[in-house]
Amino acid sequence: MSKFIFITGGVVSSLGKGLASASLAMLLEQRGLTVRMLKLDPYLNVDAGTMNPYQHGEVYVTPDGGETDLDLGHYERFASGPLSRDSNVTTGQIYDAVIRRERQGGYDGACVQVVPHITDEIKSRVRKMCSPEVDVVLAEVGGTAGDIESLPFLEALRQMALEEGPGNVSFVHLTLLPFVRAAGELKTKPSQHSVQRLREIGIQPNMLMVRTEKAIDDDIRRKLSLHCNIAQDAVVEIKDVEHIYEVPLVLRRQRADDIVCNQLHLPGAAPELGVWEEMLHTLKNPEGRVTIAVVGKYAELPDAYKSIYEALTHGGIANRVRVHLKKILSDDVTPERVAEQFDDVDGVLVPGGFGERGINGKIVAAEYARTQKIPYFGICLGMQVQVVEFARNVLQLPAAHSSEFSPDGPEPIIHLMADQRVISQRGGTMRLGQYACDLLPGTKAHAAYGEERVAERHRHRFEFNPAYRVRCEANGMRFAGINPETGLIEISEIVDHPWMVGVQFHPEFQSKPVAAHPLFRDFVAAAVQHRKVQS
């Protein structure tokens, strides 16, 4: 029988609930338990696919093509349980399912209500994660306790605790202890009130995790314990850390995993953390440093390219160097300024994107990287940009463009497939989720992966136009990866270049700190090489 851990948040948002959840899951896994994670998001959007990066950061894509919250990226980087579109449940999905069923007469004329119909639907989504081999289902609830939006979720979880019985459900609540400088004190009151909100709806947290910039003393621990009705050793401090990958060790030092396992009567061996600790040691003690320019239209937002930034860090760990990110707004890159902008740069990465803003700057960046032989990694739109630049400047087709930006242009080297729905059976007109990619021996991609066939995740509409393939190949571009079912081009490389690789997919979603994605590893390796030659 699967047990449940529910992680809620209080006081303010952005406390790193996703990281705390992922870290706890990782510790449980390292104790030999099988864990499934999911995120319950209290917004009305059906999925994150339509959400603005300004508000919501990147859209994380699961292998089955789910467009999900970026916290799932943390789950995948820290833990190893498989994720799917079912791993991100939103209020929009719940209401959509209930209203559809009502229209089909599925409620036999009953008055359809939040309790029990909405809450039943929520519970069934959480229980869908259970199976005989799953020891723990760990669900993170988005938002903060007390929000109107998250009430149906909390109510559903309260009911689950009742139904599953004592010892089968554990609630972890994450709050903030603000430090009031004038008083020189950490304040526990907001946490007390937040726990009170939970208790009003019938949830007594079993563990309190507190985010704080200063260490907590016994006094504060006692106070929190007393007022929140939580055992003192179950008050776990999460002080700000230098690297997010330290969080599991912070939890382990306070035996958070032991405490949860005791509550849930789960078998308890100490977690195996050797590989993780070694990774952290490498991260904290780099032997060198490279600077990678990331040229995107959301360069100023910390979360818009979250998985890419993390994957670059992983590439750094694999090469024992620190990757310094130079975030450049694509709008700012111009032919006049690019030499100065990229003066200190050892590699250029152009990430994915939609819409025309900044596209010219990205093309300038690709041209500069190609002609100056700076390692270049183009991801999705970054690959399309690489191809457009090549067509304009090498094939001498100045009008070449993607039909996303020039719908009736004469040289659509990136275009929409004639019958796109055939390819993207998984929804809408977007090619979403995991597709196979066959690698051409002798290419940089093949050297990186060391495999004949890989599978990578997609989220795009436009594709390389095969009408240009022969001309590209005759002029120094090679296509290192092809989708075996459709023949679609997945990877383009510049032959006469130290490392210029464009991929139509999103490799960043599969990179882990303890296992860097091979393309990110080799891109950073090429940057290290570039730096050596320069100095």
Binding segment for ligand GLN (CB under 6 A), chosen from 64-72, 218-226, 346-354, 467-475, is 346-354
Closer to ligand GLN by CB, 353 or 481: give it: 353
Stretch near ligand GLN under the rule CB under 6 A, chosen from 145-153, 183-191, 336-344, 349-357: 349-357
Q: Is 380 a catalytic residue?
A: yes
| Distance in Å, CB of 97 to ligand GLN, minimum | 28
Question: How many Cα atoms are found within 13 Å in the side-chain-facing hemisphere of 103?
Answer: 6
Residue 381 interacting with ligand GLN (CB under 6 A): yes
Joined together, the tokens standing for residue 301 give 């937002």
Distance (Å, whole) CA 297 – CA 289: 25
Say whether residue 459 binds ligand GLN (CB under 6 A). Answer: yes
Among 228, 237, 508, 517, the active-site one is 508
Beta carbon of residue 175, minimum distance to ligand GLN (angstroms, whole number): 36
* CA pair distance 82, 167, nearest whole angstrom: 25
| CB nearer ligand GLN, residue 205 or residue 351 | 351
Output 306 or 460, the one with its CB closest to ligand GLN: 460
Query: Shortest Cβ contact with ligand GLN: which residue?
Result: 352
388 binds ligand GLN (CB under 6 A): no
What single letter denotes the amino acid at residue 184? G
348 binds ligand GLN (CB under 6 A): no
How many of the chain's residues bind ligand GLN (CB under 6 A)?
A: 10
> Among 9, 73, 178, 353, which residue interacts with ligand GLN (rule: CB under 6 A)?
353
Whole-number minimum distance, CB 462 to ligand GLN, in Å? 3
Cis link prior to 116 (omega < 30° from 0)?
A: yes
Q: Which residue, 89, 146, 74, 149, is CA-closest to 123?
A: 89
Query: Do residues 209 and 171 make contact, with C-beta atoms less than 8 angstroms apart?
Result: no
Q: Are 342 and 374 in contact (CB under 8 A)?
A: yes
Output the CA angle 524-372-488, nearest 5 degrees. 65
In whole angstroms, the minimum distance from the beta carbon of 433 to ligand GLN comes to: 13
Give DSSP secondary structure letters for 279-347.
HHHHHHS-SEEEEEEEEETTTT-SSTTHHHHHHHHHHHHHHTEEEEEEEEEGGG--TTTHHHHTTT-SE
Q: Which stretch binds ligand GLN (CB under 6 A): 111-119, 181-189, 455-463, 486-494?
A: 455-463
Query: Closest distance between ligand GLN and the C-beta of residue 416, in Å?
Result: 9
Contact between 12 and 144 under an 8 Å Cβ cutoff? The reply is yes
Report the alpha-carbon distance of residue 152 to residue 421 in Å, rounded.
36
Q: How far is the CB of 376 from ligand GLN (least distance, A)?
A: 16
Residue 460 binds to ligand GLN (criterion: CB under 6 A): yes
Q: Which of 354, 393, 440, 512 binds ligand GLN (CB under 6 A)?
A: 354
From 165-173, 177-185, 192-200, 459-467, span contacting ligand GLN (CB under 6 A): 459-467
380 binds ligand GLN, rule: CB under 6 A: yes
303-305-308 Cα angle (round to 5): 125
Q: Of 79-87, 180-188, 240-248, 458-466, which part binds ligand GLN (CB under 6 A)?
A: 458-466
Residue 450 CB, shortest distance to ligand GLN, in Å, is 26
| Closest by Cα among 18, 35, 514 to 257 | 35
Return the CA Rg of the chain. Answer: 25
Separation CA 59–CA 107 (nearest Å): 34
Q: Does the footprint of ligand GLN cover residue 462 (CB under 6 A)?
A: yes
Q: Which is nearer to ligand GLN, 260 or 308 (CB)?
A: 308
Q: Which residue has the tokens 């066939």?
A: 453
Report if residue 457 touches ligand GLN, rule: CB under 6 A.
no
Give the active site residue among 155, 237, 310, 380: 380
Three-class SS state of 393: helix
Cite the active site residues. 380, 506, 508
Note the residues at the interface with ligand GLN (CB under 6 A).
Answer: 352-354, 380-381, 404, 459-462
